[in-house]
Amino acid sequence: MAPLGFIEILDGKGAVIERIPVDSLPIKVGRAYANDVILNDPYVCPLHLAIGPDEQGRLIARDLSSVNGLRGDNGEERVSSLEIHSGSQFHVGHTRLRYCSVDHPLSPTLVDRDGGKSRLRSPYVAAAAVAAIFTLLCLDAYLTTVDRATVAAIVTEPLTTFAMLLVWAGLWALASRIIVSRFHFPEHAVVACGAIVGFFVLGASSEWTEFFFPSIPIIWIAGLFGSGMILAALVYGHLKFATALRRRSRFWAALSVSVAMAGVSAITDFASRSKFSNVMDFTGIVKPIDGGLLPTITVDQFIDRSRKLKTDLDALAHKARATQP
């Protein structure tokens, strides 16, 4: 005989833990083994609840004089009886229950475009990403070398970075194996490669921005923000494969890690800025472009703006004099 419906035991977030078929009505719910639905909840009475039709044919859940009672969907008010429909939720003890009839409507089926697999899971994608990263690192090493360098000298640093990337992905894979019983090594490698590309692009774009617009003081804040975003994406990506966390949890975890790191970095930066030092910050960057494109100011403007420098220094000196005996 096909069941009439199901009593579902839900977890705190509404996910189904257990589904018990209802073959006939009325049914009894409680901690005792004689019940149709047996709940392993110490706050539930041995015989807590009965669910059955009334004279008009409505489905009613009735509290059987339990200690902790029956509560409705919002879980707050205690009621002696409750009319339930397919999909109604109600609470007994610390347990949340839902009744669904067999004809309970369902959401449409999702179309699976990946064949059940993330594209990152493909070893070909991982191999391509890793090869691309290695090429990028080598290219960068070549373009930043100023010696008459040999191939061996050029690949040494990329190889080191590359080895560290593999170790990093390996550690995450190990964590994944422990948490979700799968290594997901290629996925972690692709995520790490993505982060390297991100930092690379960020570094290059901040250098060029600083070259073109050296007077913009928010470049370092933008850099900090960018690094934070990349870090957040990195953590989000790794958590996706290493844990069973939902999207929202991953998002918050990634954001927290990134904000914490950005905070530490900003504090360190601020501390080093406010500490005394004899170092002059010749942070100018020069790039090989034709001068025509470069926005400039005149000599007069440069000299004129140095008054701001004087004002800052006078304030610093004034402060220093005030603190000295």
Partner 1 sequence: MGRRRRVGWRLAIMKKYISGAALLFVLVLAVLPPRCLAAQASGATTQDIFKQFSEHVVKIEVVETGSAAKASVGTGFYASGAGHIVTNYHVVSKLIHTPDRYRIDVIDGSGQPSQAAVLGVDVVYDLAVLRTSKRPKGYLTLESKTVEQGTRLYSLGHPRDLGLTIVEGTYNGLLKHSLYPKVHFTGSLNPGMSGGPTMTHAGRVVGVNVATEGEQISYLVPAERVMVLLERTADVKEPAAKTFLAEVGRQIHANQARYLSGMFLNNTPTVTLGPYSLPTKPADFFRCWADALRRKELPYVAVTHDCSTDDYLFVSSEQSSGIVRFYHQMLSTGELNPLQFYTLYSGQFQAGNSAAFGNEEEVTRFRCQTRNVQTQTGKLKAVLCARQYVKLPGLYDAAFRVATIGARNVGLVTTLSLSGASFDNVQLLTRRYMESVKWHR
* Interface contacts to partner 1, rule CB under 8 A: 142-148, 211-212, 214-215, 276-291, 294-299, 301-303, 305-306, 308-310, 312-314, 316-317, 320-321, 324
Cα angle vertex 51, ends 85, 78, to 5°? 80
The minimum distance between CB 150 and partner 1, in angstroms, equals 11
The minimum distance between CB 269 and partner 1, in angstroms, equals 15
The minimum distance between CB 110 and partner 1, in angstroms, equals 48
Nearest CB to partner 1, comparing residues 267 and 289? 289
| C-alpha to C-alpha distance for 52 and 60, rounded to whole angstroms | 6
Residue 47's identity, in one-letter code, is L
Beta bridge partners of 8: 19, 98
Taking CB atoms within 8 Å and a gap of at least 24, the contacts of 21-30 are 22/51, 22/99, 25/51, 25/52, 25/53, 25/59, 26/50, 26/51, 26/52, 26/53, 27/51, 27/52, 29/92, 29/97, 30/64, 30/66
Residue 12's identity, in one-letter code, is G
User: Are the CB atoms for 255 and 228 separated by under 8 Å?
Assistant: no
The minimum distance between CB 263 and partner 1, in angstroms, equals 24
Nearest CB to partner 1, comparing residues 124 and 276? 276
The minimum distance between CB 12 and partner 1, in angstroms, equals 55
Pairing of strands 89-92, 70-71: antiparallel
Nearest CB to partner 1, comparing residues 23 and 312? 312
Residue 309's identity, in one-letter code, is L
Both tokens of 48, joined, read: 């807590």
Nearest CB to partner 1, comparing residues 213 and 252? 213
User: Are the CB atoms for 57 and 26 separated by under 8 Å?
Assistant: no
The minimum distance between CB 112 and partner 1, in angstroms, equals 46
Nearest CB to partner 1, comparing residues 81 and 150? 150
Nearest CB to partner 1, comparing residues 144 and 181? 144
